[in-house]
Structure 1
Amino acid sequence: MPVPAPNLYPDFNTIRLSHVCLNVSDLAASKAFYTEILGLQVTDEDDAHVYLRAMEERGHHSVILQQSDQPGTVEVMGFKTFDEDDLDRAEVYFREKGCPTEWVQRAYQGRTLLTSDNMGIPLEFYHKMDRLAPIHQKYALYRGVKPLRIDHFNCFSPDVDASVAFYSDFGFRVTEYTEDEDSKRLWAAWMHRKGGVHDMAFTNGTGPRMHHVAFWVPTPLNIIDLLDLMATTGHVKNIERGPGRHGISNAFFLYILDPDGHRIEIYCSDYQTVDPDLEPIKWDLKDPQRQTLWGAPAPESWFKHGTRFVGVATKESDIQASPIIAP
């Protein structure tokens, strides 16, 4: 299937991804990992939650760690709209698509619409979040990998064509994609709202499941520092893939796992995609430089391991094609 044309005038205006709520088994251990190893900043906490932001973020949180009896799952992914009226338009839009809609109360957020996409991924949209004082020049606070901001989500989808069509309809634009040459179906696609390579990406596989959430860092050297830190603090087994440079996105990357198996990507150096008529880049599924510009294939775990969304059933993909997998 061809990549759908972008809808430049969607029914409502989503600005960017905003936050994710991750369910964890040991709140104290997860807090230590996200603050002491990754370097996120605590903005509030209680017996069941820790709220975190990165160094350039003014919104109250981009990560919520939630104590849960279903650890290693994802509660919800959040997005910010341009204005309040967009929330009402979004409610109408998702209801007409047959998706559930509910107005929910969220700490530190204004009106929040809870819904889901066509695969069942729980999504919430809001316009107002409590704003905090800037800390990006408080260099004494920088530690770990020195994360600046949340960058994107990547999710497994059993039907990437259907996922791309759904998100394209409400304004997401494809920047790069991989197509299975035999079936002419999409194997993966990268989609954005904020002008980077992606806010949301979809990878073929059993889904829906979260593949990873990514954070932007200043330089590749920050990733090297993180590797040294993890290697000397008992976290070698949490290093899954990298460091390397992606062919798709051109970004320098590292993939790690948190204590509950949520995959985190540390990410920098992708490119700008602001122009609405920017043509997407197509990659061959068998091109070894697609995954890593330097030719190194990804491990099998990268194509198999993901975290489920709470209460959402998964389905296997029927695409038989496979990228190159490391032995």
Structure 2
Amino acid sequence: MTIAPPNFYPPFNILRLSHVELGVTDLQASRAFYEGILGLRVSAADDEALYLRGMEERVHHSLILRKTPQPVALSLGFKVFADADLDRAAEWFASKGLPVEWVTRSQCQRCLRTQDPFGVPLEFYATMQRLPPTHQEFAAYRGVRPLRIDHCNVFCPDVDAAYAFYNEMGFRLTEYTQDDESGRFWAVWMHRKGGVHDIAFTNGRGPRLHHLAYWVSNPLVIIDLLDLMATSGYLANIERGPGRHGISNAFFLYVLDPDGHRIETYCSDYQTVDPDLEPIRWDLKDPRRQTLWGAPAPRSWFEQGVPFEGVTPVDPVLAGQPIVAP
């Protein structure tokens, strides 16, 4: 796959990943984990859904947990610059032959629901209800003290096609892994907000949600989270880390919630605001790619993901395989 020029004048202006909606089977167990262990703050709750945000977030929520019969991913939400961008987005997705629907969301003035070519459900809004700031309410900090949503990662059966589609939408490539034999992308990291990524696509059976990541203040709070999980009944939910990614340079930890949704706590990546920043290429077999210190990821990290509701995953077109921990 050839790297395309970044699209500096996209059809509509996406600011950042805003929120993710997950389906969970037990809201009480999920609340105990996300509020009591991770430390997200509850904005609203009822018998059907739980709305949470990080300590720096002024919008109503960055995570919705909705009661469902089985664990699923329900939508990925993005904030656009202005209300007019919603109309431009609706026209653009319709021109691609993709479904467009205006949906009611109690916290948003207008919300556009659509999907990408693989069926990943996407939502866009310009204005969400704002709440008072809490970033200096230090007595309320708990768990790993999540500050804000950072990115999500999606298993994708055709990373080349996903890259082309999201590049046209204005997402810029920062790093990528490429298969030498075929020349195809194995994974891409793409951003809007000036970090390493708002969304990443990883080769695999999909589409399925690989993980959702929250930004934390420093690596020490990740160590605190490990101690907390190991001594409060969540030892088996620690999947991978702590470590430092080669890609992104970020310090990380991956854990699983009670339904198997993968959550990353993440800090220390780098800025990518310069429009002429060249993307970094990684070889699929480079052991520093996954973890700068050379530790490979477990097989579950390459195979376990959560399906999007109503979307049937398919096998990937690329059979390349990175180094896997024994």
Same-fold call, TM cutoff 0.5: yes
Residue 49 of structure 2 corresponds to residue 43 of structure 1: no
TM-score w.r.t. structure 2 length? 0.99
Separation in structure 1 between the aligned mates of residue 300 and residue 108 of structure 2, nearest angstrom: 36
Q: Deviations over 1:42-98 (max 9, x none)?
A: 0011110110000000000000110112x3101111000000000000000000011
Quote the residue 1:246 is aligned against: 245
Quote the residue 2:306 is aligned against: 307
Task: List alignment gaps of at least 5 residues for structure 2.
Answer: none
Q: Deviations over 1:274-297 (max 9, x none)?
A: 011110000000000000000000
Quote the residue 1:102 is aligned against: 101
Q: Secondary structure at the match of 2:107?
A: coil
Quote the residue 1:57 is aligned against: 57
Separation in structure 1 between the aligned mates of residue 238 and residue 275 of structure 2, nearest angstrom: 37
Residue 23 of structure 2 corresponds to residue 23 of structure 1: yes
Residue 61 of structure 1 aligns with an amino acid whose one-letter code is H
Deviates more, 1:316-325 or 1:227-236: 316-325
Quote the residue 1:276 is aligned against: 275
Separation in structure 2 between the aligned mates of residue 260 and residue 100 of structure 1, nearest angstrom: 29
Residue 12 of structure 2 aligns with an amino acid whose one-letter code is F
Separation in structure 1 between the aligned mates of residue 262 and residue 114 of structure 2, nearest angstrom: 24
Separation in structure 2 between the aligned mates of residue 107 and residue 311 of structure 1, nearest angstrom: 23
Identity %: 65
Residue 161 of structure 2 corresponds to residue 197 of structure 1: no
Residue 13 of structure 2 corresponds to residue 13 of structure 1: yes
Q: Secondary structure at the match of 2:2?
A: coil
Separation in structure 1 between the aligned mates of residue 292 and residue 234 of structure 2, nearest angstrom: 26
Q: Secondary structure at the match of 1:265?
A: strand
Q: Secondary structure at the match of 2:320?
A: coil
Q: Secondary structure at the match of 2:66?
A: strand
CA shift, 1:118, in A, is 1.2
Aligned length: 326
Separation in structure 2 between the aligned mates of residue 110 and residue 205 of structure 1, nearest angstrom: 36
Separation in structure 2 between the aligned mates of residue 201 and residue 306 of structure 1, nearest angstrom: 14
Quote the residue 1:208 is aligned against: 207
Q: Secondary structure at the match of 1:274?
A: coil
Separation in structure 1 between the aligned mates of residue 62 and residue 227 of structure 2, nearest angstrom: 25
Quote the residue 1:298 is aligned against: 297
TM-score w.r.t. structure 1 length? 0.99
Q: Secondary structure at the match of 2:102?
A: strand
Quote the residue 2:33 is aligned against: 33
Separation in structure 1 between the aligned mates of residue 197 and residue 186 of structure 2, nearest angstrom: 16
Separation in structure 2 between the aligned mates of residue 318 and residue 171 of structure 1, nearest angstrom: 25
Quote the residue 1:135 is aligned against: 134
Separation in structure 1 between the aligned mates of residue 19 and residue 153 of structure 2, nearest angstrom: 13
Separation in structure 2 between the aligned mates of residue 159 and residue 170 of structure 1, nearest angstrom: 17
CA shift, 1:318, in A, is 2.6
Residue 161 of structure 1 aligns with an amino acid whose one-letter code is D
Q: Secondary structure at the match of 1:267?
A: strand
Residue 275 of structure 2 aligns with an amino acid whose one-letter code is P
Separation in structure 1 between the aligned mates of residue 47 and residue 106 of structure 2, nearest angstrom: 14
Separation in structure 2 between the aligned mates of residue 16 and residue 28 of structure 1, nearest angstrom: 30
Residue 226 of structure 2 corresponds to residue 235 of structure 1: no
Separation in structure 1 between the aligned mates of residue 118 and residue 317 of structure 2, nearest angstrom: 15
Q: Pairwise CA RMSD of aligned residues?
A: 0.5
Quote the residue 2:180 is aligned against: 181
Quote the residue 2:258 is aligned against: 259
Q: Secondary structure at the match of 1:154?
A: strand
Task: List alignment gaps of at least 5 residues for structure 1.
Answer: none
Q: Secondary structure at the match of 1:301?
A: helix
CA shift, 1:191, in A, is 0.1
Separation in structure 2 between the aligned mates of residue 73 and residue 276 of structure 1, nearest angstrom: 35
Q: Deviations over 1:264-317 (max 9, x none)?
A: 000000000001111000000000000000000000000000000000111101
Separation in structure 2 between the aligned mates of residue 139 and residue 323 of structure 1, nearest angstrom: 41
